[in-house]
């Protein structure tokens, strides 16, 4: 069985963070492990509290995982402070972790901040450069590039700028565009678009977490990056189309959309 680790925050309402990641990994018929960076008290309407792990306790979780069941791929989501970012980078280097997907989670769909201001510098200088691929959404790509992004051309410009300090792949997600949901994969060799029409579903809590975990699963299975992104895009599109409607705000995705037995892993 393929093994995938998520390093992220817990979402008490189960739609994003660790819970979305474990659901995604399980739906791919893979074995999920987790290192929790923070507890959040949140639901579909917002984030109402954050309790960070200590850097030492994050390190202890990572030691337990890597010394026993080394993961074939790692997804990193919410990491709210610079000290935890540093310890994650140190441990992933110590254990020579491969197939790293970094989702630079800064702000939740509901608008609540999930990262302290001083952490963005450590994220950019230390964590993003070790990613096999990074997956910013449009507001995150604006922060990372310093450019405003209004259309797909701006996405290409921003990706080029981010590539000056990120050697791996850069997937700028287009979920925040208005008529399409086109994602751009930019690497130093080539770029490619992954296009879908926008699905009119207000329940998008956890789309970013789910996409990055699905990419990690595909990397664990050994697919080339371009195939991983297409398969993950198909997974998120299916989970959005399957129209779950829970909660009073932007609700979670439906991870049970695949017909039994259709997953190829």
Ligand X SMILES: Nc1ncnc2c1ncn2[C@@H]1O[C@H](COP(=O)(O)OP(=O)(O)OP(=O)(O)O)[C@@H](O)[C@H]1O
Ligand Y SMILES: Cc1ncc(COP(=O)(O)O)c(N)n1
Q: Six-digit token pair at 52?
A: 């960070």
Identity of the residue, 67 or 153, whose beta carbon is nearer to ligand X in the bound complex: 153
Q: Give dist(CA 64, CA 81) in Å, integer.
A: 22
Q: Decide if 128 contacts 104 (C-beta within 8 A).
A: yes
Does 23 help bind ligand X (rule: CB under 6 A)?
no
d(CA 225, CA 260): 26
- Our answer to whether residue 208 is catalytic in this structure is yes
Residue 17 in contact with ligand X, rule: CB under 6 A: no
Angle between helices 207-220 and 225-241 (to 10 degrees): 140
Closest alpha carbon to 62 in 19, 100, 103, 105 = 100
19 binds, among ligand Y, ligand X, none (CB under 5 to 8 A by kind): none
Task: Considering only the stretches 150-158, 189-197, 202-210, 241-249, report the one whose residues sit in contact with ligand Y under the rule CB under 6 A.
Answer: 202-210
Pairing of strands 183-186, 191-194: antiparallel
Q: Is there binding between residue 105 and ligand Y (CB under 6 A)?
A: yes
Q: If DSSP codes are grouped into helix, strand and coil, which group holds residue 81?
A: coil
| Region binding ligand X by CB under 6 A among candidate stretches 5-13, 92-100, 151-159, 176-184 | 176-184
CA 154 to chain centre: 22
Concerning whether 204 is annotated as a catalytic residue, the answer is yes
CB of 209 to ligand Y, least distance (A): 5
Contact of residue 236 among ligand Y, ligand X, none (CB under 5-8 Å per partner type)? ligand X
x/- map, 79-118, ligand X, by CB under 6 A: ------------------------------x---------
């Amino acid at each position: 069985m393929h093994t995938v680790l998520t390093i992220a925050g817990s979402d008490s309402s189960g739609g994003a963070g660790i819970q979305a990641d474990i659901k995604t990994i399980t739906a791919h018929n893979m074995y999920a492990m987790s290192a929790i960076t923070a507890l959040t008290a949140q639901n579909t309407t917002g984030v109402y509290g954050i309790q960070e792990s200590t850097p030492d306790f994050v390190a202890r979780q990572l030691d337990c995982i890597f010394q026993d069941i080394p993961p074939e791929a790692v997804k990193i989501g919410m990491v709210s402070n610079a000290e935890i970012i540093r310890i994650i980078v140190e441990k992933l280097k110590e254990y020579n972790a491969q197939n790293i997907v970094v989702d630079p989670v800064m702000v939740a769909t509901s608008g609540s901040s999930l990262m302290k201001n001083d952490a963005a510098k450590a994220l950019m200088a230390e964590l993003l450069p070790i990613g096999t691929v990074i997956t910013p959404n449009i507001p995150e790509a604006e922060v990372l590039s310093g450019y405003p992004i209004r259309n797909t051309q701006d996405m290409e410009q921003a990706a080029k700028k981010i590539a000056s300090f990120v050697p791996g792949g850069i997937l700028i997600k287009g979920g925040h565009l208005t008529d399409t949901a086109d994602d751009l994969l930019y690497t130093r060799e080539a770029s490619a678009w992954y296009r879908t029409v926008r699905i009119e579903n207000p329940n998008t809590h956890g789309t970013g977490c789910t996409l990055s975990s699905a990419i990690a699963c595909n990397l664990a299975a050994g697919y080339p990056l371009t195939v991983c992104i297409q398969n993950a895009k198909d997974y998120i599109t299916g989970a959005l189309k399957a129209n779950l409607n829970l909660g009073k705000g932007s609700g979670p995705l439906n991870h049970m959309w695949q017909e039994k037995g259709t997953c190829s892993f």
